Chains A and B, each alone.
Chain A
């Protein structure tokens, strides 16, 4: 308990008790802003607003309804599909860029690093508005160019394209962020490993594949986990694109958009709490699945 207090220094203050004082402010706010709302949501999700009888205890009814709610399941599947193709592309670009910048073969590496990272400073609202205009048929440059050569511009905001258009926005926003995490991990690899590889006659590609990528596995994993969390809570992008293409993006396009609609348009507070809770559970399960799968593979 009092390992830090050496026997030489006898004071009236007990350092182990002081430890509590240091962590208490954080933990108090943590409890108030994280634990309490979650508890309250759990409580609310057990009730239902009925026409007759008002708010009544409903047990797990909301969860049963949610698990059979087609709109919610569609949304979860859509987000899962989004995750399955957007994240590999984004992480591949991040990894290639990080390796290129780290390789020492590139001039102006610092400028590239900064340029690719810069979109992270742009709020998702602004990024979506901007890409929305770029996609647009009126004054989007792609549509203008297509018009000039007499071709039909891709309908970026149509049903068939929407998920890819959204994936492009998210990739634009977060590739740089992931690249910096991976780059920082690459910088931390001990240089003796490179020397050993060079002695064995490995070229830059071989070194990247056999030494660098395995060495930064933990960082890659961190990027995947952050991407799981990010994808499943997509909101700003669909919410803003909905205004440009209301017939393509419905109010349940992503689970988060659905929870928002339930709580603020439909006034179904209790059901929204259950949906939020389930969504949180899906994210935690998905994150742990990723952790579990990658751990098992590395042990083999």
Chain B
């Protein structure tokens, strides 16, 4: 009986698995087709011509190689934002976890409450503010707002509480180490698994961001790949003679853009899991 039950479970899970992976399989298949075959052949299987390499070449050379630039922009924005956000969160989380000072609880509660402030409701005011001080249409417009990660601070505080025993800090103090030296030479190393988690989450958030760069940037050379692909897609829907070529570039460009993050997810599995468990369990 238990065997039949687990068989039922298996069938259900396979159905889910197919639902979640089939679109990605479709994306890969579609990237291997010429525009003509995209329309004429069955969507979920390969056609006779395997034109993945031609499509890739076309995608990265279109419009003076702008796609490669978008990818580089995305990498740049996300790495700088994630690095900065993780560092600020580690410093702050350690501070909130390991020091008693007036306002500690209140300030932390304020930051935690701000998780509920929706980023998109914040984006328009930030745009208005940035246009006042001349930051619109610069990389700063993407990086600065991404440096604040209330969730990251929350994770780092929990992590610092659990991973760094007070005794070690005390011992380092008795040895005469300064507070910042203790942080950089002792604490930071013990925090590194948590730090990687925060880094990964802020990286994904900036990498996948669309609304903020859409409103902040109107120079195509500064676009991240999400905004670039959306622009291409609306051109290919909008008509004109060149739509066909652009259509397969949108598809191939989409495939190329998801590969780095999927690779990162596969390589760094244990980190996102530990991050989400800290967020989910200890609330």
Contact = CB atoms under 8 A, between A and B. Distances in A.
Interface of A: 1-4, 6, 8-9, 11, 13, 15-23, 25-27, 29-30, 32-34, 36-38, 40-41, 44, 93, 96-97, 100-101, 103, 105-107, 111-112, 114-127, 129-131, 133-134, 138-141, 144, 172, 175-177, 180-182, 184-185, 187-188, 204, 216, 218-219, 221-223, 225, 229, 232-233, 235-236, 239-240, 243-244, 256, 259-260, 263-264, 269, 272-273, 276-277, 279-280, 283-284, 287
B254 interface: yes
Contact of B229 (A36, A126, A134): A126
25 contacts: A3-B100, A16-B101, A16-B102, A18-B179, A19-B99, A27-B111, A29-B144, A33-B126, A33-B145, A40-B128, A114-B265, A115-B20, A116-B16, A120-B265, A122-B208, A126-B226, A144-B42, A184-B276, A187-B277, A219-B281, A235-B120, A235-B210, A243-B233, A243-B237, A279-B118
* Most chain B CB within a 10 A radius of its CB, from A36, A219, A223: A219
A47 B150 CA distance: 31
B274 to A, nearest CB: 8
Contacts of A27: 92, 107, 111
Contact of B125 (A41, A130, A141): A41
4 nearest A-B residue pairs (beta carbon): A22-B95, A19-B99, A184-B277, A26-B92
A273 B92 CA distance: 30
Given A9-B174, A34-B122, A121-B258, 17 more contacts: A4-B98, A4-B169, A18-B99, A22-B96, A34-B148, A93-B16, A106-B13, A115-B21, A119-B23, A123-B257, A184-B273, A184-B280, A187-B277, A222-B280, A260-B211, A269-B128, A276-B122
Interface string B2-30: 10011001101100110111011011001
B170 A236 contact: no
Contacts of B176: 11
B107 to A, nearest CB: 7
Nearest to A26: B92
Given A25-B91, A175-B20, A182-B280, A1 B100 contact: yes
Contacts of A118: 20-21, 24, 262, 265
B20 A123 contact: no
Nearest to A287: B116
A41 B128 contact: yes
Contacts of B277: 181, 184-185, 187-188
Nearest to A27: B107
A25 B88 contact: yes
Given A26-B89, A93-B16, A180-B276, A221 B283 contact: yes
Contacts of A6: 170
Interface of B: 2, 5-6, 9-10, 12-13, 16-17, 19-21, 23-24, 26-27, 30, 38-39, 42-44, 88-89, 91-92, 94-96, 98-102, 104, 107, 111, 114-122, 124-129, 144-145, 147-148, 150, 153, 166, 169-170, 173-174, 176, 178-180, 183, 204, 207-208, 210-211, 215, 225-227, 229-230, 233-234, 237-238, 250-251, 254, 257-258, 261-262, 264-266, 269, 272-274, 276-277, 279-281, 283
Contacts of A222: 279-280, 283
Contacts of B266: 114
Nearest to B92: A26
B126 A131 contact: no
A136 to B, nearest CB: 10
Contact of B122 (A3, A37, A184, A223): A37
A105 B6 contact: yes
Contact of A116 (B17, B119, B144, B215): B17
Contact of A233 (B96, B118, B208, B262): B118
A129 B20 contact: no
Contacts of A243: 233-234, 237-238
B108 to A, nearest CB: 9
Contacts of A101: 13
A129 B254 contact: yes
B200 to A, nearest CB: 10
A123 B208 contact: yes
B91 A276 contact: no
A33 B148 contact: yes
Contacts of A177: 276
